[in-house]
Structure 1
Amino acid sequence: MASSARPATSSPSPLSLGPLIMGGAGFSYQLTTDPSSLPAASILSRAFSLGIRTIDTSPYYHPSEEILGAALSSPEITTTYSRSDYILMTKCGRLSSDKFDYSPSWIHASVARSLSRFQTSYLDVVFCHDVEYVSVPEAVGAVGALFELKKAGKVRYAGISGYDLDVLVDVAVKVRETYGMPVDVVQSWAQLTLQNTRLEKQGLGRLREAGVRAVCSSSPLACGLLRDGGVPVGALGDWHPAPEGLREKAKEAAEVVHGRGQKLAAVALRFAVRRAVENSRDGVEVATITGIGSLRDLEENVETARQVLGDGIRPEVWREERGVEHGNSVDRELEEKDELLFEQVRNVLGSWVDYDFSTKS
């Protein structure tokens, strides 16, 4: 890499990720059958040039870390960008679909492995992955290990991720009580989407009270549910948690949107980005993580997000203007049309609106 200088060990400045983050799960066997065939370096180079400078992944998204690490170390990236030009986020604690290790020793080992894969001396953010699958004390202890790694300069910000909002809040509250400092950032997936807005209704206020100042809303398409063609199926088969009834309604919604000359994926992404920006207030910044698995995905997602953000897609502009909050929507006519589409889609989804994937039914 062009530069892998270790960051200062003093407390870093407040975390600002920009409004749009590149998700790395698209380079995994969960979402594709041959992730190693993807042009990762070209995708990253184009993403950086378009203004996306934050990357999120996990060892669980095998082999995403290895692919992205090799790409970031390639001349296609290093001849133009230094390590300080982008933000690296990864995770720890989840080993497989049903195996977790939140022990402090493994947290340290996992971070060391990620540092090696990315060929860097520090990671900007590390999340404890899917905290709802372990006990609250285990999760709190793992965050404590990340705080130790912060002091050592190997991690800049410590976070937690998961689906269950109540568990995320419980862990955030207990971390602050235990260590006298808050979790830096929380990642919640598929909870601020056209199908489910529980994050803004039941999560953000409580996380703010727990001292959290940055929230990542991932899976704006509900892991591929809100798109034409149904949920994605990779080499690991159909793992999507949506019941058949919800899947059928999502397909029906896609047909309705198609009849209006739009694609459900684009409408859903505009909804998620807009709601994230609108909820970036009162000291909490909300960013959207969108999955990228090809140059076409990247171009389409950025073009869609720009319809909401304009130049605010670039982190430096976002920090100055905060996008929609300061009137930076570039297409008011589209915004008005979208509001009607949003309502139509949610009417089609009916009782499945705000359905919780963790519901046992």
Structure 2
Amino acid sequence: MDLRPLTKSQPVNQDKFEVSKILFGTSSFGGAFDEIENCSPFEAVSRALELGINAFDTSPFYGDSEQILGSVLSSLSDKYPRSHYYILTKVGRYGLNKEDFDYSSKRTRESVEEKFVDIDEVVGDGGVLIELFKLKFKSFGVKYLMNASPLSMALLTETAPPQWHPAPAKLRSIISKCASYAKENGFKISKLAIQFSLEWDGTDSTVIGLSNRKQVEEAITWFNEILARKRCEKNADKIEQIVVQEIQKIMGDWLNWCWEYPPTTIYQR
């Protein structure tokens, strides 16, 4: 495995968003995809920091993700102080259903307060909201572009997605065939999906949901393979290219299809 760190372990630039090419997504810490072992978040986060991932994405929508991430980072503060990484979180969505969306000022304030941050740091002079409004649109010149969910919420993996996944049954069946085809030819569909996302130079970073040390190391290794290809000005090997093309053929009309989430209709497609 090529586990060269993505970045050096050092304080991040708070005036610029100099994020690592892989951004650690913590949705799995809420237990939505797999049962989380007590040691997994600590091992995953500490290994990610060791390998140069300097940003973590969380949300109140992800169950206890914020609290688990905060606890792990706090326990690692001697080696990796708060100045060494970015934390991205969200407001507005707190559950699976449409009624769980709440963008009211009251709930937004409560959500900020839940993050144990002095409210004046957020809404006061020099606070984050003031700065966000200053940066809003920037004459339509978007400053940072992030990619996310290369595995389509655990759909593009070697195992079946969770029961709550919004993909229609027909699409699940087709992806299962794609995963089997990839395996028959010596590839993991999760690797093909992640590398397909990481290989594009148009984004600053890609958010990948990670839950344990192995997944962190795989993501770093797969990204380093892409860097090695670029240094040698090589594309993926011919067999890999054929496998990807065949998977796209198997997907047929479902290729690039998007689902509504949370769904308001039952899919019949």
Match of 1:290 in 2: 208
Match of 1:52 in 2: 53
Q: Distance in 2 between matches of 1:67 and 1:230?
A: 25
Residues 34-49 of structure 1 aligned to structure 2 (within 5 Å) = 35=36, 37-49=38-50
Provide the identity percentage.
25
Name the SS for the 1:334 alignment partner: coil
What's the offset of the Cα at 1:266? 0.7
Match of 2:250 among 312, 334, 348: 348
Q: Distance in 2 between matches of 1:182 and 1:59?
A: 23
Match of 1:266 in 2: 191
What's the offset of the Cα at 1:104? 2.2
The unaligned stretches of length 5 or more in structure 2 are 1-11
- Runs of 4+ off more than 4 Å: 154-158
C-alpha spacing 1:149/1:295, structure 2 compared with 1 (3 Å): same
TM-score by length of 1: 0.62
2:51 is the alignment partner of 1:149 = no
2:176 is the alignment partner of 1:251 = yes
- Deviations along 1:240-269, one digit per CA (max 9) or x if unpaired, are 111111111111111111121111111111
Name the SS for the 1:88 alignment partner: strand
What's the offset of the Cα at 1:23? 0.4
Give 1 or 2: higher helix fraction: 1
C-alpha spacing 1:48/1:331, structure 2 compared with 1 (3 Å): farther
Q: Distance in 2 between matches of 1:350 and 1:150?
A: 52
Q: Distance in 2 between matches of 1:152 and 1:180?
A: 11
Q: Distance in 2 between matches of 1:151 and 1:21?
A: 29
C-alpha contact 1:23 1:289 (8 A) present in aligned 2: yes
Q: Distance in 2 between matches of 1:102 and 1:57?
A: 17
2:136 is the alignment partner of 1:182 = yes
Residue type of the alignment partner of 1:149? V
Residue type of the alignment partner of 1:153? G
The unaligned stretches of length 5 or more in structure 1 are 1-6, 123-145, 159-178, 185-208, 311-323
Give 1 or 2: higher strand fraction: 1
What's the offset of the Cα at 1:224? 1.0
Residue type of the alignment partner of 2:85? Y
C-alpha contact 1:92 1:110 (8 A) present in aligned 2: yes
Residues 1-361 of structure 1 aligned to structure 2 (within 5 Å) = 13-33=15-35, 35=36, 37-74=38-75, 77-98=76-97, 99-114=100-115, 116=116, 149=123, 151-154=125-128, 158=132, 181-182=135-136, 210-231=140-161, 233=162, 238-275=163-200, 277=201, 279-280=202-203, 285=204, 287-309=205-227, 327-328=230-231, 332=234, 334=236, 336-358=238-260, 360=265, 361=267
C-alpha contact 2:156 2:175 (8 A) present in aligned 1: yes
Name the SS for the 1:95 alignment partner: coil
C-alpha spacing 1:156/1:342, structure 2 compared with 1 (3 Å): farther
Residue type of the alignment partner of 1:182? K
- Deviations along 1:82-133, one digit per CA (max 9) or x if unpaired, are 111101011111122221221123222211211x2xxx669xxxxxxxxxxx
C-alpha spacing 1:156/1:254, structure 2 compared with 1 (3 Å): farther
Residue type of the alignment partner of 2:30? S
Q: Distance in 2 between matches of 1:259 and 1:32?
A: 25
C-alpha spacing 1:331/1:156, structure 2 compared with 1 (3 Å): farther
TM-score by length of 2: 0.81
What's the offset of the Cα at 1:60? 1.1
Higher RCO structure, 1 or 2 (CA under 8 Å, sep 6+): 2
What's the offset of the Cα at 1:30? 1.6
Aligned residues: 250
C-alpha contact 1:36 1:67 (8 A) present in aligned 2: no
- Deviations along 1:159-179, one digit per CA (max 9) or x if unpaired, are xxxxxxxxxxxxxxxxxxxx6
